[in-house]
Amino acid sequence: MIVPLEHILCLAGLLFFLGMGGLLAWRANLIMMLVCIEVMLNAVMLVFVGGSARWGSADGQLFAIFIMALTSAEVSLALAMVVYLHRRRKTVDTDRFSEMKG
């Protein structure tokens, strides 16, 4: 363990809340919302790997790998949905997608 766990948690928390602030600020643009969600998930992976290094267990690394697989599935579906919505409305503005009809 090269640095104390608190510093890793501080870094991960900083990245997570930066992603959260970006998600709140970019709420008009679907693509940037997805990018900020990536930042948040990456911070969660950092917490898992830090815990794995702190307690010498392999489970944290395994969950980081699971999060990575989950993220790739989520991003592929979300971007397919962005392409579909853009084909219908010619925009990625979230305010234009406020109705669920058809």
Partner 1 sequence: MEQTIFYILAAVAVMGTILAITEKHPVHAILYLVTSLFSIAVIFYLLMAPLVAAFEVILYAGAIMVLFLFVIMMLDLGHPERGLSPHRREWLPAMALAGVSIVCLAIVIISRHGAPAASAASALPIREVARHLFQDHGLAVELISLQLLFALVGALYLGRQGAPSPGLRPPSPPGGGAGDEESPS
Instruction: Give, as ranges, the residues between 46 and 75 that touch partner 1 (CB under 8 A).
Output: 46, 49-50, 52-56, 58-59, 61-62, 64-66, 68-75
Distance CA 62, CA 74 (A): 18
In whole angstroms, how close is the CB of 25 to partner 1 at the nearest point?
Answer: 4
44 is a site residue for partner 1 (CB under 8 A): no
Secondary structure of residue 93 in the 3-state scheme: strand
Per-residue contact string for residues 10-29; x = within reach of partner 1 by CB under 8 A:
xx-xxx-xxxxxxxxxxxxx
Cα angle, residue 91 at apex, residues 88 and 94 outer, rounded to 5° = 100
Q: Tokens 């959260």 belong to which residue?
A: 20
State the nearest-atom distance from the C-beta of 34 to partner 1, in Å: 7
User: Tokens standing for 96?
Assistant: 């234009």
Q: Does 33 bind partner 1 (CB under 8 A)?
A: no
99 binds partner 1 (CB under 8 A): no
89 binds partner 1 (CB under 8 A): no
Q: How many angstroms separate the CA atoms of 17 and 29, rounded?
A: 19
